[in-house]
Structures are given as structure tokens and as C-alpha cells.
């Protein structure tokens, strides 16, 4: 099962994993980047209730890619933009990840895919980096909590949305940088879902073709 935003890269990941369908997550509330008059809790709780009512799944992939990302210097971000790019995604993925672990069968596996650029490439993507770091912390916490059920939770990080137009520093180890959703990212996900990774949980795999961190 693949849960995520209905973006081009999410669909490519689904193709790479042989998943025919993507379970869509809630869209951002209308006016998210405008008025402060908003309430996302009912939207997220309805989605979680509906999702957890489904049958248990042994393998669940959660994909956090937005449709697009545009670099913006941190000091130029408005509070509304920060809310749209950091607060809403953090709340969304907290709910989705917890729901995925709850629905995962005992002995199953959850893999979270998130955009996390290398340190040398983070300029303009402070909200996304903050969200990614929170997701990685949540992965470790959920792995600890679900370990007694034999459920493994791991993460795959990518740089397919935040790749800079001009690379600086040492070149990536692999010429295929930044990789694609259906090949490099899907391969890392399959590796973590595999029974051969049965002792791996609470960790992350950087499917970034060796970009300097």
C-alpha cells in the first residue's frame, strides 16, 4: 500500500513499486496561506478514522512529496508561507504516519519517503528541512513504540525536488544524481521492506546517489 500526495513523483514511485493505486492524503485547507482563520484538525481526524477502518496491511509506504517546491530565503518567508510549508505538512505527516503504524499488521513494515536535501543544498528550503527532520525523529519514536509488535519503521530520504540548478562542492558519487522515484527511490524502499532487512528499524537510507552531507 502506498499513501501520499497525488503528485507526478508519487505516481512514479507507485509504478516502481508495482502499486496500482495511491491512497490520497488530505489536501491543504482552503486559504492556508492567507487568513489565520483555519482549522485542520477535523480534516485530519476524519481521514485517520476512515483510513484506520480498512483491513490491516503488511507493507505500507508513506510518501511526503509535494507537487512542487520553490526555494525561498528563510528571512523572506512570511508567517503564512511558513505555515503552509512547515506547519501543515508536519501535522499531516504526524497523523498519516501514526495511522499507518496502527493499521500495519504485527510483523509488518512501514517506510516513509521524505525530501531531505544534502546540507550543501539546503538554501531556500528551511521549511522542508524542518519537516524532514521532524519526520525522521518520529520514525525513531514510532519504531520504538511498535517494536514489541514486530513492526519496523524506516525512512528513505531523497533530493529529487530540491536538486540545485548548479551543483557546488564535491560532485555526487553516482552520475545518476539525483535519481528518480521509480528507480533509485523505489529500490531503497524495496530494500527496507524486504525480509532481509528484518533487523533494520528506526533508521534512514539516503537514496541521494552519494551527495555530500
The string of pLDDT tens digits covering residues 126-150 is 999 999 999 999 999 999 999 999 9
Domain membership of residue 61 (yes or no) is: yes
Question: Domain residues for 151?
Answer: 2-25+41-206
Sign of CA dihedral 104, 152, 136, 112: negative
Number of folded domains that form the chain: 1
Residue 116 lies in a domain: yes
For residue 30, being part of any structural domain is answered with: no
**Inside any domain, residue 34:** no
31 falls within a domain? no
66 pLDDT band (50/70/90 cuts)?
A: confident
pTM of the complete model: 0.93
CATH number at residue 65: 3.40.50.720
Q: Rounded distance, CA 47 to CA 143, Å?
A: 23
| 18 is a domain residue | yes
Asked whether residue 33 carries a pLDDT value surpassing 70, the answer given is: no
Q: Residue 15 pLDDT more than 70? A: yes
> What pLDDT is recorded for position 137?
96
Q: What pairs with residue 111 in β-bridges?
A: 61, 154
Span 64-91, average pLDDT: 87
Which cell numbers in the block locate residue 112? 516513509
Residue 195: inside a domain: yes
Q: Please indicate, yes or no, if residue 81 is contained in any of the structural domains.
A: yes
Amino acid at each position: 500500500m502506498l499513501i501520499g500526495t497525488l503528485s507526478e513523483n508519487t505516481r512514479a514511485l507507485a509504478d516502481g513499486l508495482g502499486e496500482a493505486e495511491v491512497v490520497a492524503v488530505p489536501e491543504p485547507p482552503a486559504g492556508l496561506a492567507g487568513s489565520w482563520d483555519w482549522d485542520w484538525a477535523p480534516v485530519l481526524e476524519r481521514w485517520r478514522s476512515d483510513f484506520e477502518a480498512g483491513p490491516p496491511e503488511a507493507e505500507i509506504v508513506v510518501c511526503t512529496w509535494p507537487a512542487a517546491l520553490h526555494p525561498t530565503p528563510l528571512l523572506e518567508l512570511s508567517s503564512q508561507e511558513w505555515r503552509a510549508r512547515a506547519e501543515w505538512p508536519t501535522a499531516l505527516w504526524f497523523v498519516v504516519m501514526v495511522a499507518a503504524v496502527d493499521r500495519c499488521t504485527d510483523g509488518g513494515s512501514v517506510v516513509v519517503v521524505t525530501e531531505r536535501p544534502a546540507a550543501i543544498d539546503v538554501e531556500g528550503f528551511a521549511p522542508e528541512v524542518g519537516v524532514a527532520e521532524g519526520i525522521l525523529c518520529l520514525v525513531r519514536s514510532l519504531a520504538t513504540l511498535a517494536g514489541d509488535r514486530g513492526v519496523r519503521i524506516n525512512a528513505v530520504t531523497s533530493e529529487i525536488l530540491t536538486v540545485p540548478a548548479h551543483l557546488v562542492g564535491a560532485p555526487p558519487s553516482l552520475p545518476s544524481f539525483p535519481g528518480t522515484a521509480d528507480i533509485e527511490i523505489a529500490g531503497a524502499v524495496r530494500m527496507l521492506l524486504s525480509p532481509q532487512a528484518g533487523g533494520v528499524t528506526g533508521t534512514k537510507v539516503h537514496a541521494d546517489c552519494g551527495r555530500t552531507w
